[in-house]
Amino acid sequence: MICTGSRTALPELAGLDEARPWTNRQATDASTVPGRLAIVGGGGVGVEMASAWQGLGSAVTLLAQADGLLSRMEAFAGELVGRGLAEAGVDVRIGVTVTGIRRPVGTGPVTLTLEGGSELEADEVLFATGRQPLTDDIGLDTVGLVSGSWLEVDDTCMVTALEDGWLYALGDVNRHALLTHQGKYQARIAGAAIAARAAGQPVDPAPWGPHAVTADYYAVPQVFFCDPPAGAVGLTADQAERAGHRIRVVDVDLGQAVPGAGLYADGYTGRARMVVDEDHGRLLGVTFVGPGVEELIHSALGGDRLGGWPGRWPGRAGAAHLAALLPGQRAGPGAQQLAGEQVEEHQGVLLDADADQPTGEDLRGRHVASGQLHCAVAGHDPVDLDGLGGGMASWTDPSRTSKRDRRRLAGHPDRSESSMACPPRFAALHP
């Protein structure tokens, strides 16, 4: 099993070695703040390090090529991040190519030559220009593979170029998704497949099966911790269309459409986009940009099965935010009007821990923090989840829960066999 990772792919520029450029390694372990830092590359490392070093006091210049910042995300993500960086003081330059570099005797300022002949001087330069696999000195050539190459794998992470199926490649080296959490995900899937094969048991590589890394293609969550943060999971609108899906794009101004944004910060600015599969009624992808959106990514995983993933709807505030963003979706009883829709189709009651009967209180705008919200949804079976978090609250179906269990659950939010959570689109009342 090969899990050797990747390293920064540096451009072929004369004088690069003598200039001693930073990569992501030096950028995250340097002990002094350079007065001027030039960053080449507009991907995740580039925007994160621009935010970090600008915040530490460096005068940062961020150089990106014509495709702009965060080019693999929705276009608005890079635009909003670029605007935020510029407002923070970063000199953001789009459509710039570095053609030369020099640093006399390896000391002093470094000078970058840009396409067109202009020059940029900085105290340090960071190249964030992509990755290449760490497979050039591990003996791939001894088994008929190309040293230094990416390794193509099947859905169980078995290397496809070898017919007898003894070699697996996980993490960055298979180029599926160069993210730590995806490498861990692949390890679980590959481990299960290897164990099944060793035991002579059948292997199930069907999409979303126990031996398939399907999420690598349809549901990779990622967050870039820049200012503002940007996060996404699943497909962009362009990717979905190119894959043949008939889609609907839902764009939301987070500062205007989500009441909680005003509680998070005055003048909140952010945006969300949901890509919906019109034929199957499920999410294909979600992108968020704005302060605090790193907490919202899990709100798009599960529930209505992002990309067909039979996942579970996680808790915390994300469920409320995503439910509030979906035009035409309905939330719990007494909820605020969301995207022009008022809830009328099902019932819910708040049961206080010390009450024998439901209180029947108006829940409009309330944070359910000390009671039990019972959500009966017409035509929908409740989904067994880990709860939706938040104080003493939990979501249950009263038609399947006795009064005794309701009272016990109200005082013990850690669930029991009787605790059943409502489908996610009815979770908008939860804090």
pLDDT digits (tens, 9 = 90+) for 287-340: 999 999 998 888 777 544 465 554 433 333 333 334 444 433 333 333 332 223
Judge whether 332 lies within some domain. Answer: no
CATH number, domain of 248, equals: 3.30.390.30
- Taking the C-alpha atoms of residue 224 and residue 81, their distance in angstroms, rounded to an integer, is 10
Residues 31, 106 within the same domain: yes
Question: pLDDT tens for residues 368-379?
Answer: 333 333 333 333
Judge whether 93 lies within some domain. Answer: yes
Question: pLDDT tens for residues 30-59?
Answer: 999 999 999 999 999 999 999 999 999 999
More reliable by pLDDT, 384 or 110: 110
Share of the chain above pLDDT 70, in %: 70
Give residue 202's Cα distance to chain centre: 33
- For position 281, what pLDDT does the model report? 86
- For position 299, what pLDDT does the model report? 78
pLDDT surpassing 60 at residue 342: no
Judge whether 381 lies within some domain. Answer: yes
Rg of the Cα trace of the chain?
A: 25
CB atoms within 10 A of CB 58: 22
Residues 27, 108 within the same domain: yes
At residue 422 the predicted structure's pLDDT band, cuts being 50, 70 and 90, is very low
- For position 300, what pLDDT does the model report? 76
Structure token pair of residue 13: 């520029």
Contact 77, 230 (CB under 8 A): yes
More reliable by pLDDT, 2 or 369: 2
- For position 336, what pLDDT does the model report? 30
- For position 259, what pLDDT does the model report? 80
More reliable by pLDDT, 241 or 406: 241
Q: Which amino acid is at 218?
A: Y
- Taking the C-alpha atoms of residue 420 and residue 374, their distance in angstroms, rounded to an integer, is 10
Residues 10, 91 within the same domain: yes
Comparing C-alpha atoms, which of 123, 182, 171, 178 is closest to residue 8? 178
Q: Which pTM does this prediction carry?
A: 0.72
pLDDT surpassing 70 at residue 174: yes
Judge whether 197 lies within some domain. Answer: no
Residues 266, 381 within the same domain: no
Give the residue-averaged pLDDT of 119-125.
97
Residues 375, 275 within the same domain: no
- For position 258, what pLDDT does the model report? 85
The rounded mean pLDDT for the chain is 77
Residues 361, 304 within the same domain: no
- For position 331, what pLDDT does the model report? 35
Give the residue-averaged pLDDT of 64-72.
94
CATH number, domain of 17, equals: 3.50.50.60
Comparing C-alpha atoms, which of 244, 250, 268, 273 is closest to residue 258? 268
Q: How many domains does the chain have?
A: 3
- For position 109, what pLDDT does the model report? 95
Question: pLDDT tens for residues 200-216?
Answer: 999 999 999 999 999 99
Domain residue limits at 125: 6-132
Domain end (from 98, 132, 166): 132
Domain end (from 77, 104, 132): 132
